[in-house]
Amino acid sequence: MKGKLILIDKDINWTSFDVVSKIRNFIKKKFNLKKIKVGHTGTLDPLATGLLIICYGKMTKEIDSFIGLDKSYSGKMIIGSSTPSYDLETKPNVFYQTDHINEKLIYEKAEEFVGEIMQKPPIFSAVKKNGVRSYKLARKGEQVNLEKRKITIRDFKITEINFPELSFEVDCSKGTYIRSLINDFGKALKSGAHLTELRRTKIGEFSVDDSLKIMDFIKTFKS
């Protein structure tokens, strides 16, 4: 009941709530408990993989101390098209010219995003609008206008170019939406872009290299 902190490498198509629920149910069954507090320190989208910090028992009281930590990601994007969700949750619906885009422009525009910037969250996100999660409104086809927020991009590197696919790495502050970053990057190129792959590699000093897949954690716990 004192609790612990667990580093989980989340698989694609799992929600962060799925992971919390799986661990909660396992611990309850393992120790014959009626209830146990379990929570995470920052959501990962279902289509993203990587590091998720889980706290259970009395360790859940420490969650707030982890929420504000910087985060690092690696991922891929496609240049020349955008989607309503800014990722692969929805299909590309707008297509753009890319003939003017070269490596020099790509690297130059990436550098422009480093520092404090104003960012608008995706409408397909958990941000609330008038008390309702914006993704619920967006999926109904309703218009959603979210306010911009100040975030910090500490580093934004294009690590590989296989046009129209670009690979990247990002170090950023809490509250950063990588989907929005990629969408805005496409606009900066006077084109479009959408996120196709995302992996969270670090939260503060915690690394995905030290994490376990959820089923491996359960197997280890059982032993």
Active-site positions read: 45
Measured CA to CA, the distance from residue 102 to residue 93 in angstroms comes to: 23
Cβ contact 211:56 at 8 Å: no
Measured CA to CA, the distance from residue 143 to residue 85 in angstroms comes to: 13
User: What b/e readout covers 69-90, taking b as 16+ CB neighbours within 10 angstroms?
Assistant: bebbbbbbbbbbbbbbbbbebe
Cβ contact 91:57 at 8 Å: no
